[in-house]
Chains A and B, each alone.
Chain A
Amino acid sequence: MSFDYDKYIRPGKLPHIWCPGCGHGIVMKGLIRAMDTLNLKKENTAIVSGIGCASRLPGYIDCCTLHTAHGRAAAFATGVKLAKPEMNVILCGGDGDGTAIGGNHFIHACRRNIDMTYIIMNNYIYGMTGGQFSPATPTGHKASTTPYGNPDPCFDIAKLAIGAGATFVARGTAFHANQIDKLIVEAIQHKGFSVVEILDDCPTTYGRRNKYKSVIEMMNRLKEVAVPVKAAEKMTAEQLQGKVLTGVLYKDETKPEYTAEYAKVIERAKASK
């Protein structure tokens, strides 16, 4: 049976601004299915984003949404969550917004382990501003500001999140569309800071410069590089060369959650008066 996306979409907002073949639409569908699975109420769900292609996502979804300054989604979302701890706070943004301009906010939100879900759509580039290289652009690949190849080593966003202290880290791809909503459901249910990195494609500014002939070729590349975590256990280091692990990469339920800890601070302050 067909899924009714329309009940979660703001009337009159479609068609969206994303280019033909952009994976952000697939991720948005996954998020809507996840919201439906968990039966999240519109008035009790906040989607916060920064600036960028991926950060246009909250504008289309009919719930509490906040479109903030570049890279500052985590800072604004922390404020929302502390003011209203009962709210489900979901952040979304791209790789540039999350790990370059908002890199500092991102690692500190991870460190605090505040109960939020961050969906990072990693399309390897700054799409909206004209295809400049981002910290996720692979070494040697071309962008508008690195026409002879990017000399920088790139971030592994999932590993960065684990290192910074996030307690749930998962990775999916826009090709594995069925998996996206399952990962997001698990991330929202997890008490603590959850990061879901979704590998995406940007046919307009990244694919064109890096000799991908079509959207289909970019989608098939995602299919080829993705290896599920369980399958990777049986593979040798040589076989895993150039591959990317997908699925739930890290989960820790022992670390205290920030809003609960902060409530204790408020209690202690009241008691000491």
Chain B
Amino acid sequence: MNTTLLQLAAKFIRSIMLVASVFILLRGHNAPGGGFIGGLLASAGIVIYTIAFYSLPLLSKTLRTIAPLRIVGLILALGSGILGLIFGESFLHAQWFKLNIPILGTIDLSTPLLFDIGVYLAVIGVMVMVILLLMEDRKWN
């Protein structure tokens, strides 16, 4: 499916979906969204791009970049749990911090956010890895 039209569209679609996925991830705590949905969205973007520009080198390169994300995600999620322990409460007990930035105002940071980012990365890593592995295996285009 290496058509110019699809390739042109895929570039935009990927960028838009990645930005949107981060947006959805970050707003998740108060509005519809979150790590899982964001992760699925981002994976869809990456997969569409890979389908449009299908080539074996691209596949393996994307695999190499994306696959480690699931480990990073798992470690982040685990780390957010351990932060709870470090602050003297139970594992995964949420911790909240207020960050004051002069012009932008206050930003609330929390371990659940870190956890959600972990979920986001793990989902991207697993979904993209599985689909790309299958594409590679099927020599599918």
A and B co-occur in one complex: no
Interface on A for B, CB 8 Å cutoff?
A: none
Interface on B for A, CB 8 Å cutoff?
A: none
